[in-house]
Chains A and B, each alone.
Chain A
Amino acid sequence: MKGSRIQLAVCLLLLAQARVAVAETDIDLGLSSDLAGGTLSPSAVMGIDTGFRLAGGEGRAFALDFSAEGAYSLLDPWFSGSANLEISAYRMSGPANLGLRLQTVAVLPATALPGSLAFALSLPFTLNGPGLSLSLAPVVSIDPLDTGYGSFGLDSGISFMVGNLVLKPGLGFALIYPWSGGTILSFKPGLTAAWYPGIPLSLEISGEYRMSTGDAALPVDALELKGSLAAAPVPWLLLTCLASSSMGSLTTESSLSLEASFTLARKDGGRELALPLMLGYESSAAGTGISLGLGLRYIF
């Protein structure tokens, strides 16, 4: 009860001192098709990404973000989707920043995957210097489904700039209790390098090694590599390339997606209509697939 009152007081304080409110929504509609085995498997895809932000005095901010995406197969009675809700409160002013973040991620069951419903509460703390930033975030998460788990952990990282390069070594650990029994202790050393060369282009490469040990059924070690490239060579074109690979002790998966988003119209207030073209590639134990997509994106 006392905690609720404190939260309410914090919210009222934020609202009372609010000076900037921003709400933006991004809607994607499109058609996509898998080309596995040379046969077309068309599906309708949709996505929404919306958020509301309230900025108060002295860098205080409250944000609510919701995103969801889904795909409906036009040939089989089959639907897949996921949703993400994040509520966060931050103080982003001065050298020491503190936040409180509650995140809910739901993934619908799909072929060979049971689905999940994860809630995570974290308390990110950041110390910022002119060229160095330190962060610590204790995280508690729970997935109440039968296939789920309970866990707590700590993510830590350092960011520093070397010229136009941001280097981010990090280390995380988590103690995971699957409901099926046993315990998993997971360590995640990682390194990310992001390049911001001063032209409308950015490149990020990251690697993370997940070492797991314990007496649960499936403790898995895995090396995850990710890369992303974003570029705006001309005002009406935004290119995005995402690549990832996970090489685990049990499975190896990799994916690559390319998107060219053509801006069709822009209006004041950030409204924008774009035509994204997507090309995707996925490889896993289940097989290899290529997908093509075409859609409309409206931001308002």
Chain B
Amino acid sequence: MKPRSIAFLALLFLLADLSAQGSSPDWYASSGLSGRYDGVKAELQALVSSAERAGIPPELLLARMVEGGEKRVDPARLVLVLTRDLDNYSKVLSVLSALPAVQTRDKASLIEGGGIALRSGMAFETFRRALLTAAGKGVSPRRAIDALIAVAAVDSRLALDDESEGRLALSLACSAEKVERFSSLSSLFVRGKAGKIGNQDLVGLAVSILDGGGGFLELEREIIRRIK
């Protein structure tokens, strides 16, 4: 069995155990983290407890712990990364709490999605403003966060400035493009960049097309035309 499959099974057992027992310290024994991470067990436990107190589903942190264990991340670094994750999740939750439309069942995946966007390097203020503005325009939090993740993926490679990120995320969230295609945005931008179209130009082009009711098909056509 592959290590990834083992880690996944371990996570399933862990989550089942957690839901049955609350967040008792027994979760650690079934997490697969024993041994290498014993030295930071207290810190990990404290993080899980903090997540629970803040209203953040602890399985989000546990999943990241298992991921870190699978990658054999240094224990001190794992604590550092998880502390940052917890901070990001708390920030995302604070924004989501201001939105009336968030269903409890969606909360965990929305917090996780927001955490991915912030972890990719998006500034919290950019994230907050884009999410609230999109929600104010009637965009669902799920769609808005998926747009933010797509833009954060672009930023992680092409280093957009904060203003460009916000404009692009808002345009994408409010656009007619299908959510399933959002992830292609980073591929489209890399295509344009390789064709010597600058970041500002690409963002301007995408915003203009998306705001005008167009989608990725139109954006792709225009990028290719400019490269030629």
A164 CB contact (under 8 Å) in B187, B189, B218: B187
Main SS at interface, chain A: strand
User: What separation, in Å, do the CA atoms of A126 and B201 have in the docked complex?
Assistant: 21
A3 within 8 A of B: no
User: Which residues of the other chain, A, contact B199 by a CB distance below 8 angstroms?
Assistant: 270, 272
Contact indicator B221/A200 (Cβ below 8 Å): no
User: What separation, in Å, do the CA atoms of A239 and B209 have in the docked complex?
Assistant: 27
User: What separation, in Å, do the CA atoms of A196 and B187 have in the docked complex?
Assistant: 5
Contact indicator B196/A26 (Cβ below 8 Å): yes
User: Which residues of the other chain, B, contact A112 by a CB distance below 8 angstroms?
Assistant: none
Which stretch, B11-19, B49-57, B80-88, B155-163, touches the partner chain A? B155-163
A202 CB contact (under 8 Å) in B161, B188, B198: B188
A94 within 8 A of B: yes
B191 within 8 A of A: yes
Q: How large is the interface on B (under 10, 10 to 19, 20 to 34, 35 or more residues)?
A: 35 or more
Contact indicator A95/B190 (Cβ below 8 Å): no
User: Which residues of the other chain, B, contact A232 by a CB distance below 8 angstroms?
Assistant: 157-158, 190, 193
User: What separation, in Å, do the CA atoms of A164 and B215 have in the docked complex?
Assistant: 13
A142 to chain B, nearest CB (A): 19
User: What separation, in Å, do the CA atoms of A164 and B213 have in the docked complex?
Assistant: 20
A93 CB contact (under 8 Å) in B178, B197, B213: B213
Contact indicator B221/A133 (Cβ below 8 Å): yes
B24 within 8 A of A: no
A161 CB contact (under 8 Å) in B193, B201, B217: B217
B184 within 8 A of A: yes
Contact indicator B214/A135 (Cβ below 8 Å): no
Knowing A93-B213, A200-B190, A230-B193, the reply to whether A20 touches B204 (Cβ < 8 A) is yes
Contact indicator B186/A94 (Cβ below 8 Å): no
Knowing A128-B217, A131-B217, A194-B220, the reply to whether A266 touches B159 (Cβ < 8 A) is yes
B217 CB contact (under 8 Å) in A20, A133, A269: A133
Contact indicator B187/A161 (Cβ below 8 Å): no
B226 within 8 A of A: yes
Which of B153, B161, B196, B216 has the most chain A CB atoms closer than 10 A to its own CB?
Answer: B196
Knowing A22-B200, A196-B184, the reply to whether A230 touches B218 (Cβ < 8 A) is no
- Chain B residues numbered 54-89 whose CB sits less than 8 Å from any CB in chain A: none
Contact indicator B190/A235 (Cβ below 8 Å): no
Contact indicator B215/A130 (Cβ below 8 Å): yes
Contact indicator A199/B208 (Cβ below 8 Å): no
How many A residues, CB 8 Å from partner? 53
User: What separation, in Å, do the CA atoms of A51 and B202 have in the docked complex?
Assistant: 12
* Closest residue on chain A to residue B186 by CB atoms: A200
Contact indicator A196/B191 (Cβ below 8 Å): yes
User: Which residues of the other chain, B, contact A20 by a CB distance below 8 angstroms?
Assistant: 204, 208
A62 to chain B, nearest CB (A): 12
A174 within 8 A of B: no
A231 within 8 A of B: yes
Knowing A130-B176, A238-B194, the reply to whether A198 touches B183 (Cβ < 8 A) is yes
A135 CB contact (under 8 Å) in B184, B201, B212, B221: B221
A58 within 8 A of B: yes
Contact indicator B161/A200 (Cβ below 8 Å): no
Knowing A128-B218, A159-B220, the reply to whether A269 touches B200 (Cβ < 8 A) is yes
User: Which residues of the other chain, A, contact B208 by a CB distance below 8 angstroms?
Assistant: 20, 55, 59, 61, 92
Knowing A133-B221, A166-B220, the reply to whether A270 touches B187 (Cβ < 8 A) is no
B13 to chain A, nearest CB (A): 31
Q: Contacts A198-B187, A204-B191, A230-B190 given; 10 further ones with Cβ under 8 A? A: A53-B201, A59-B212, A126-B221, A130-B215, A164-B187, A199-B183, A202-B188, A202-B194, A231-B190, A235-B156
12 contacts between A and B (CB under 8 A): A22-B204, A24-B197, A51-B201, A55-B204, A128-B218, A131-B217, A135-B221, A202-B187, A202-B194, A238-B194, A270-B161, A272-B199
Give the B-binding residues of A (Cβ under 8 A).
Answer: 20, 22, 24, 26, 49, 51, 53, 55, 58-59, 61, 65, 92-95, 97, 126, 128, 130-133, 135, 159-161, 164, 166, 194-202, 204, 228, 230-232, 234-235, 238, 240, 266, 268-270, 272, 299
